[in-house]
Structure 1
Amino acid sequence: MKINKAYKFRLEPNVEQQVILNNLVGSARFVWNQMLAMSFEMFANNEFINATNLVNKIMDLKNNPDFEFLKSHSNAVSLQQKVRDLASAWSRFFDPKVHARLKENKKKIRKLKFFKLADGTEIQLRPLMPRFKRKSDGCDSIRLVQFDKYCRIEGNRVKLPNGIGLVKFRKSQDIIGTIKNVTISKKSGRWSVSFGCEREIENPIHPSKTAIGIDLGITKLISTSDGQYIKPKNSFKSNQVKLAKLQRQLSRKVLFSQNWQKQNRKIQKIHHHIANIRHDYLHKITTNISKNHAMIVVENLKVVNMSQSASGSAVQHGRNVKAKSGLNKLILDQGWGMMVDMLEYKQHWQGGLLIKINPRYTSQTCSQCQHIAKENRRSQARFECVKCRYVANADFNAARNILAAGHAVLSAEGGCGKGRPMKQKTCGLREKAT
């Protein structure tokens, strides 16, 4: 079995190397925007958009006298990879399955945007369409393939092309596998290097035999079916006051002035810091759970729908808008979707199994007698069955139901795959995966 894994480290280039790297990522961003404008023209003329058609247009850009800097301040391989990323974005836009998933998520309608073509006509920028990149976003990257041909690693330094030379990076762990590509990224003024590796291993067998159900929440990030609880980190909430102060200062500055750009970079660094805290915390807890349990059952939550605004419309105003806004911030601060994705690929690496079940009725079902009633959930923390009078913590009871539903999905009784009933029949609680 092949495993693809990326190792990301902090890159520490000197001043001269930063100048070259800024030129490379700037050229890649410029080519993306130019190719995107061309692809909008192709889209308006009903021409076929794919990677081959777009890559062939790179030489036309380089031969343009106005774009002479592309010959001396860019890397041909990174430009091709950037254009291939653009083609992948267009293929995602043309995929009907992606649009079907988008319709399921009830997003608030935003103001329509248009792009003006060369002949003066305008086309509407639809959802999932690629967007133009801006330098002020503070996020740029380039990718180099054929690592052995253009790059090499010497201890804690990496050799990069285009006269960059050896650049120091913080090698916090060993890089295992064959390096296929390297990505240089700049986010909030900080450089990073990511090595995409591939290695061949035998089909792994998970060392553990236990199964666990996980209920995701806000006051308790994780409640497990064996009675354990993990507290949330709430990185955004802890930095919210400082972030709001910086944003108020930004609103009083002239748009796109030097002071505005300095203040905007401070805000970007805070957002980057918040994301790093959340990412690090989720990695630690998901690694621990994945190593200790062969089967993990989680709810297939639609976070987009759960965090939808309650403001309503101009005709029909919403209710409890402020309270719902605070709840939405707490939901998005947890990173549930990222956590489930981490558990999924880590279980794949360990040889374990991750099952996503329908979340309906998991909080209303009694884990003892399987009686379903809305009245069972007396409060946010208390569960008391109206039929058998079973009393337990509501999150713990839901986690046990999630585990039982996961076993039911694997069994013949509950069905396997799509089309299973909303009210999943449980087949008894088992603590071991069979």
Structure 2
Amino acid sequence: MLRRQAFKFRIEPTGEQQRKLRQFAGMCRFVFNKALALQKERYEHGEKKLGYAGLCKRLTEWRNGTETPWLKDAPTHPLQQTLKDLERAYANFFAQRADFPRFKKKGQGDSFRYPDPNQIKLDQANGRLFLPKLGWLRYRNSREVLGEVRQVTVSASCGKWFVSIQTEREVAQPIPNGGAVGIDLGVVRFATLWDGHKETVLEPLGSFARHQQRLARAQRQMARKTKFGRNWLKAKARVRRIHRQIVNARHDYLHKASHAISKSHALACVEDLQVSNMSRSAKGSAEQPGRNVRQKTGLNRSILEQGWGEFRRQLDYKAQWAGGWLVAVPPQHTSQQCPECGHTDADNRQTQSLFLCVACGHSENADRVAARNIRERGLKTLEGQDDARFACEVSGAVMPPAAGTHRGESALLG
């Protein structure tokens, strides 16, 4: 089994290396914006969009031209990878997976990528990494890098620089542990798990709420400064550090939760939630103003604070690494359907936490009811695809996947 994994470390560049890192990131941003402007110009003139090969030819002209000869100071491969990123952004737009590509801004997502492993040298014993035109970079060697290095991504965050080393290695086919679990995600409870016998509740971390007042105070201080002045830049850096603390705490919590679930369950059943639609603004327009805008804004903030999408992404690949499966089921009426008699009614959900079936009188916690229904729907999804696998999951036994199938969310959703 081929496993691709990235190992991220903070690097400690010298003053000269920091200058080059900022220059290379700026050159990649310049190439991306210049190529995007070229594509827009060709579209306005009715010309066909240039592909990756055509953009690479233009990049060679820009490097050898008289207007931008300083592009030669940057390594070629990161600049070419920037053009690949633009091509991928156009593909995502035409496939309706993302919005139209936008111009990049300085200080937002500064990064560049080295795709050629022959130009990369990793010295783990001495905690250093060699990259073209940067030389040997010291990094904080907090864990061992496993596998063969395939590419390296250098990125900036809050004034610090990081490297993400992507590797490939062959591992033995893992054997999953445990049976099936249904996971209901919410705001009051981050996750309610039901494995068929017992309930497990994961409380929300609330990293944003914990730092909200400190963040608001820092933002007010920044608003009082002269924009782009020295004190304004210091205040902006303070705001970014608080945001980074919030993100780091949330990611740490999600990683620990998804790791524990994937290690102890062979099948994880989750709701196929459309988070972007659930957190859409209710402000409306001047002609048709929205209703309960303030309440909806607070709900949207609470939804986005949980990180449901990131949690599902982590659970997907970690389940694959552990040899398990992830099934996403339709979210309709999961907390309104009685798990005992099957009756579905909106009146069954009495309050946020109380479920009371109007048909049979069954009473239970509403989140636990949703987790039970999600688990049953996930098992039925597998039953329709492979009866043998379904029987093994119910019994808690382990079997290899059927021929032509793959572990992971995409295979199980068909």
Instruction: Assess if the C-alpha contact under 8 Å between 1:180 and 1:197 holds in 2.
Output: yes
Q: Any residues of structure 2 matched to 1:397-408 within 5 Å, and which?
A: 397-408=369-380
Aligned twin of 1:279: 251
Q: Report the residue type matching 2:246 in the other structure.
A: I
Does the residue aligned with 1:31 lie in a helix, a strand or coil?
helix
Output the CA distance in 1 between the equivalents of 2:352 and 2:397.
30
Aligned twin of 2:78: 78
Output the CA distance in 2 between the equivalents of 1:46 and 1:260.
44
Aligned twin of 1:217: 186
Pairwise CA distance, 1:250 = 2.4
Deviates most, 314-323 or 399-408: 314-323
Output the CA distance in 2 between the equivalents of 1:42 and 1:250.
41
Give the counterpart of 1:250 among 219, 222, 240. Answer: 222
Instruction: Assess if the C-alpha contact under 8 Å between 1:384 and 1:391 holds in 2.
Output: yes
Aligned twin of 1:22: 22
Instruction: Assess if the C-alpha contact under 8 Å between 2:354 and 2:364 holds in 1.
Output: yes
Aligned twin of 1:133: 104
Instruction: Assess if the C-alpha contact under 8 Å between 1:152 and 1:160 holds in 2.
Output: no
Structure 2 residue runs without a partner (length 5+): 399-414
Pairwise CA distance, 1:7 = 0.8
Output the CA distance in 1 between the equivalents of 2:9 and 2:226.
36
Instruction: Assess if the C-alpha contact under 8 Å between 1:211 and 1:431 holds in 2.
Output: no
Aligned twin of 1:160: 131
Output the CA distance in 1 between the equivalents of 2:342 and 2:367.
16
Does the residue aligned with 1:9 lie in a helix, a strand or coil?
strand
The alignment's TM-score, normalised by the length of structure 1, stands at 0.85
Does residue 51 in structure 1 map to residue 52 in structure 2? yes
Aligned twin of 2:164: 194
Does residue 379 in structure 1 map to residue 351 in structure 2? yes
Q: Report the residue type matching 1:348 in the other structure.
A: Q
Instruction: Assess if the C-alpha contact under 8 Å between 2:119 and 2:132 holds in 1.
Output: no
Q: Any residues of structure 2 matched to 1:250-399 within 5 Å, and which?
A: 250-399=222-371
Does the residue aligned with 2:110 lie in a helix, a strand or coil?
strand
Does the residue aligned with 1:283 lie in a helix, a strand or coil?
helix
Output the CA distance in 1 between the equivalents of 2:124 and 2:172.
29
CA separation of 1:383/1:351 partners in 2, compared to 1, >3 Å: closer, same or farther?
same
Instruction: Assess if the C-alpha contact under 8 Å between 2:338 and 2:344 holds in 1.
Output: yes
Q: Any residues of structure 2 matched to 1:222-233 within 5 Å, and which?
A: 222-225=191-194, 226-233=198-205
Does the residue aligned with 1:203 lie in a helix, a strand or coil?
coil
Q: Any residues of structure 2 matched to 1:31-42 within 5 Å, and which?
A: 31-42=31-42
Instruction: Assess if the C-alpha contact under 8 Å between 1:55 and 1:84 holds in 2.
Output: no
Does the residue aligned with 1:49 lie in a helix, a strand or coil?
coil
Q: Spell out, residue by residue over 1:70-102, the C-alpha distance to the aligned partner (whole angstroms, 9 max, x if none).
A: 222x1111111111111111222222x53xxx7
CA separation of 1:198/1:314 partners in 2, compared to 1, >3 Å: closer, same or farther?
same
Aligned twin of 1:89: 89
Instruction: Assess if the C-alpha contact under 8 Å between 1:151 and 1:161 holds in 2.
Output: no
Instruction: Assess if the C-alpha contact under 8 Å between 2:39 and 2:49 holds in 1.
Output: no
Output the CA distance in 1 between the equivalents of 2:231 and 2:106.
16
Q: How many residues align?
A: 389
Instruction: Assess if the C-alpha contact under 8 Å between 2:279 and 2:303 holds in 1.
Output: yes
Pairwise CA distance, 1:234 = 1.4
Q: Spell out, residue by residue over 1:216-263, the C-alpha distance to the aligned partner (whole angstroms, 9 max, x if none).
A: 011110101131101111111111111111222222333333333332
CA RMSD of aligned residues (A): 2.1
Output the CA distance in 1 between the equivalents of 2:360 and 2:91.
54
Aligned twin of 2:212: 240
Output the CA distance in 2 between the equivalents of 1:370 and 1:152.
58
Instruction: Assess if the C-alpha contact under 8 Å between 1:203 and 1:351 holds in 2.
Output: yes
Instruction: Assess if the C-alpha contact under 8 Å between 1:54 and 1:87 holds in 2.
Output: no
Does the residue aligned with 1:12 lie in a helix, a strand or coil?
coil
Instruction: Assess if the C-alpha contact under 8 Å between 1:211 and 1:433 holds in 2.
Output: no
Structure 1 residue runs without a partner (length 5+): 103-127, 417-426
Identity %: 40
